[in-house]
Amino acid sequence: MFSRFLRWFFNTASALLTQREIIGLDNLPPKGPYILAANHLSYFDLPLVFGIVGGENVTGWAAEKYARHPFFGPLLRMGRAIFIERGQVDRHAITAAVNWLAHGNIFGMAPEGTRSRTDSMSRGKTGIAYLAHEIDIPIVPIAVSGTEQAFAAWRRLRRPHFKMQVGQPFHLPPIDESRRSASLRANTDEVMCRIAAMLPPEYHGFYADHPRLLTLRPPDTTRS
């Protein structure tokens, strides 16, 4: 019931306050388990994504510091968020996520771990690669743009344009245990580059010159 209310609330608020462009919903698998992986630009990413694809079978990680927040804490608990300690390997949070997925559910996360400070992509943390290694399921990339401009638009009494694009599901290759750290990094970069490939160049940030992104989205040589 709480998840349905949250989805209704987020959808109603965004319909009134923003202009939404949603692309690729047909790429979502008909049921779980799978991981939703999105870039993270602002506080409005979660309401946008959850309003579109949320439900009782969807949860994700949230920073432990928000557990005690008077506003975000109750909302995150209503959405069954799994609180995680940043900057360390939180075994409890990882185990909870694996158990959630093992029951056929959907787990959403932002591999960057926190909001971007540059309005573009930051380097992804390897938690998503570790989680995908623990339970072999598809990853669905989601690219979000425009949410970082919300406050500036509202100050001008305009509705900001939010765009959300859902990419095709994919599986990461198995981790090479002989070079575990490098393998986790490579798999994380694969996720991030697939997200970046759906975004305009100004959002590519850390991944702008990544070789994998260039294969997914070759430079536009038609421009002068």
Share of the chain above pLDDT 70, in %: 95
Q: Is residue 86 in a domain? A: yes
- 222 located within any domain: no
Confirm whether 87 is domain-assigned. Answer: yes
Q: Which domain CATH number covers 66?
A: 3.40.1130.10
Q: In whole angstroms, what is the distance from residue 223 CA to residue 64 CA?
A: 46
Per-position DSSP letters for 171-221, written without gaps between them: -PPPP-GGGHHHHHHHHHHHHHHHHHTTS-GGG-GGGTT-HHHHHHS---T
- Count of domains observed in the chain: 1
Residue 208 within a domain: yes
Residue 223 lies in a domain: no
- Give per-residue pLDDT as tens, 43-56: 899 889 999 998 88
Please report whether residue 15 resides in a domain.
Answer: yes
pLDDT value of residue 136: 87
Backbone angles phi, psi at 91, to 5 degrees: -60, -40
In DSSP notation, 87-125 reads TS--HHHHHHHHHHHHTT-EEEE-TT-S--SSSSPPPPP
Can you tell me the mean pLDDT for 17-42? 96
pLDDT in tens, 199-208: 999 999 999 9
Residue 224 in any domain: the answer is: no
Instruction: Print the domain residue range for 164.
Output: 2-216
pTM confidence score: 0.91
Q: Could you give the angle at the alpha carbon of 108 between the alpha carbons of 2 and 217, nearest 5°?
A: 140
**In a domain? residue 210:** yes
Tell me, what's the pLDDT at 106? 96
CA–CA dist 53, 119 (Å, integer): 24
